Amino acid sequence: MSFWVLVASYWVHLLATVVWLGGQTLFLFVAWPALRQQTLDNNQWLALQKRFLPWANGSLVLLLLTGFVQMTQDPNYSGFLTIDSLWAGAILVKHIAFGGMVLLGGYLQFSLYPALDRVKLLAEKRPQLAADEQSALHQQEMRLLRVNLACAVLVLLCTAVATAV
């Protein structure tokens, strides 16, 4: 493989990491407190989330593709599911955490956010029930965003271990 292809892979991988982790951090530490302090309303929160989804999905695809290129070019790589070193173990845990991030993102995108949209419709007819449901959904979302961020931090830790080896 060409040196410059590998350089481009690392560069795109780092950019995708910044988009993914930066977005998660922004939502967890900036937007969520603003929502709780009522300086950001629920509709703005959901609009922000929906606006970030294409960026998150794109960055996950780029992370997968560029990560595969990097992994297969690493001299420590011995083959698919060959766990024969600390590097291979770190990469395995990293991939499990990445899979967790993908599953959580899918659940948020295809289950939780549509439920929040349905609650907005319910608010017109039964405002108290909608408020209770919305509160429960936001609490669930916050838990999932924290787990997602923990998975992202674990990915970075595993990357540090694999890089140090």
Alpha helices by DSSP H, 27-126: 32-36, 42-73, 86-107, 113-125
Between CA 152 and CA 146 the distance in angstroms is 10
Domain that holds residue 93: 3-164
**pTM here?**
0.84
pLDDT of residue 40: 67
Q: Say which residue, 1 or 78, is predicted with more confidence.
A: 78
What residue has token string 């108290």? 128
Ramachandran area for residue 112 (φ above 0: left; ψ -120 to 50: alpha; else beta): alpha
What's the Cα-to-Cα distance from 7 to each of 14, 17, 93, 150, rounded to whole Å?
11, 15, 24, 28
Q: How far apart are CA 99 and CA 151, in angstroms?
A: 9
pLDDT tens per residue, range 33-66: 877 777 767 677 778 888 888 999 999 999 999 9
- Of these ranges, 28-37, 90-99, 148-157, the one predicted with the greatest mean pLDDT is 90-99
Among 165, 156, 163, 1, CA closest to 63: 156
The total domain count for the chain is 1
